[in-house]
Amino acid sequence: MNPDTDTLNPQKEHEAEPAPATVEERDSMDFDVVIVGAGPAGLSAAIRLRQLAAEQDFELTVCVVEKGSEVGAHILSGAVLDPVALNELIPDWPERGAPLGQPGTDNRHWALDRKDLVAE
C-alpha cells in the first residue's frame, strides 16, 4: 500500500466523504418560453413574442436568461446602429426616450491598404 498514491485516488476520496443528509431543495419557476441570451436576438424575440401575445389577448410568460451580470454586460459594439429592426419592433422608440443620440447623415466605406486609406 502506498499512502501517497492512495490519497490521490479520487474514488477513495469520494468513498471517504459522508453522504449529504438531505438533498437541497431548489427554487423553480415555470415559464411558457425561456430564451437563452439577452443580446439583440434574444431580447427582440422576447419583445416580439410578448407583443404577439398581447395582440391576441393571450397570457404568455417569457423568461430571458443572461449569463452576464446584467443585460448588456457582454455587448461588444461600436455602438453604430441601423435602426431598421428597432423601427419594426418598437416604432415609437424616439418618443419613449431610447438613448440613441446622433443620427447618421452620411455613410462612407474605406479600405486600408499597406500605405493609404482608399475611398470606395
Q: Among 34, 36, 54, 63, which residue sits at the site for ligand FAD (rule: CB under 6 A)? A: 36
- When asked if residue 67 is in the footprint of ligand FAD (CB under 6 A), the reply is yes
CB 6, CB 12: distance < 8 Å: yes
Q: Among 32, 51, 68, 94, which residue sits at the site for ligand FAD (rule: CB under 6 A)? A: 68
Give the footprint of ligand FAD on residues 91-110 (CB under 6 A). none
CB 90, CB 102: distance < 8 Å: no
3-state secondary structure 63-94: EEECCCCCCCCCCCCCCCCCCHHHHHHCCCCC
Q: Among 34, 41, 54, 85, which residue sits at the site for ligand FAD (rule: CB under 6 A)? A: 41
**Contacting range for ligand FAD; rule: CB under 6 A; set: 22-30, 33-41, 93-101, 108-116:** 33-41
Residues 6+ apart with CB under 8 A from 47: 89, 90
- When asked if residue 48 is in the footprint of ligand FAD (CB under 6 A), the reply is no
Angle formed at CA 84 by CA 70 and CA 51, multiple of 5 degrees: 60
Q: Among 52, 65, 85, 98, which residue sits at the site for ligand FAD (rule: CB under 6 A)? A: 65
- When asked if residue 83 is in the footprint of ligand FAD (CB under 6 A), the reply is no
Q: What's the min distance (Å) between Cβ of 111 and ligand FAD?
A: 18
Q: What are phi and psi of 8, to 5 degrees?
A: -90, -5
Q: How far apart are the first and last CA of the chain?
A: 76
- When asked if residue 85 is in the footprint of ligand FAD (CB under 6 A), the reply is no
